[in-house]
Amino acid sequence: MEATLVIFSGGQDSTTCLLQAIAERGAENIHTVTFAYGQRHKLEVELAEGLAKELGVASHKTIAVDWYKDITHNALMDTVTPIGRTAGATCPNTFVDGRNALFLLTAAIYAKGLGIHDLTIGVSEADYSGYPDCREAFVKSMEQTLRLAMDWPFRVLAPLQHLTKAQEWALADRLGRLDFVRTRTLTCYEGIPGDGCGTCPACKLRAAGLAEYLGSRGRA
C-alpha cells in the first residue's frame, strides 16, 4: 500500500482526513506532519502530536515555522486582534496568507525525503469563507508546481474538497469515528477542544454542520 503524508492540525478537517487515510491504507502507511506557526494556542500542536501517537501512525513530525508570525499579521496568529471580518474584506481576518502553499511545499520536501508521493490535506471549499488557498484550482496548481519543483510524482489529495461540514460529519460517522472527532479534535478559536466555546465562528460552523448531519440521520 502506498504511503501518504497527512498535514495534520488536530482539527476536525484534518483529523477526518487522517482517520480516512488510516482506514484506507492502514496506520503503518500513514505519516503525519504538524506545523507550529505561532498559533494562538500551542495546545493545538500538543493535541495533534498526542492524537497522531494514539492513532498509531508510522511517524509524526512537528515542524516549527515560528518566523511566520514575524512576516504576516492575522487574527489566528497574533494574540490581540479580535477574530472577525474586516469591512470590505473578502475573507475573515483569520486567513493566513500563503499558509496552505507553505505547508504543502514544506510537507512535500519532507515527503520526498521519506520516499512518499502522496500528500493529504484537509482543505474544503464548500463551507469555507472564501479562503483562496482552499479552492480546487489552488490545490491542482500546487500539485503541478511541486512536481515541477522537485521532479517527483507528487499527488496532492484533498478528500474533503467538495464536502460540506455536514457531509464531513457523515464521513466521520461512516468511519465509526463520529464521537472521536467530536470530542477529541480542536477547531475552536478559543482553544477549547471538543464542542469548544460554542460562540466563535469556527465553533458555530462546526456545530451547525453537526446539527444538520444529526438531523438528516434522524430523518433517515
Assess 195 for contact with Zn ion (CB under 5 A).
Answer: no
Minimum distance of Zn ion from residue 196's CB (angstroms): 4
Q: Which C-beta is closer to Zn ion: that of 55 or that of 203?
A: 203
d(CA 15, CA 11): 6
Q: How many residues bind Zn ion, per CB under 5 A?
A: 6
d(CA 207, CA 213): 10
3-state SS of 61-114? EEEECCCHHHHCCCCCCCCCCCCCCCCCCCCCCCCCCCHHHHHHHHHHHHHHHH
Count of residues making up the chain = 220
Assess 75 for contact with Zn ion (CB under 5 A).
Answer: no
Minimum distance of Zn ion from residue 125's CB (angstroms): 22
Give me the amino acid identity at 40.
R
Minimum distance of Zn ion from residue 204's CB (angstroms): 8
Assess 197 for contact with Zn ion (CB under 5 A).
Answer: yes
Three cell numbers written together for 106? 514544506
Of positions 75, 104, 188, 210, contacts Zn ion by CB under 5 A = 188
Minimum distance of Zn ion from residue 135's CB (angstroms): 25
Give me the amino acid identity at 44.
E
Of 122-130, 138-146, 166-174, 180-188: span binding Zn ion (CB under 5 A)? 180-188
Minimum distance of Zn ion from residue 45's CB (angstroms): 18
List helix spans (H) across the chain.
12-25, 43-54, 68-71, 99-114, 136-150, 165-174, 178-184, 201-219
Q: Which C-beta is closer to Zn ion: that of 114 or that of 197?
A: 197
Assess 203 for contact with Zn ion (CB under 5 A).
Answer: yes
Of positions 200, 206, 210, 213, contacts Zn ion by CB under 5 A = 200
Q: Which residues bind Zn ion (CB under 5 A)?
A: 188, 190, 196-197, 200, 203
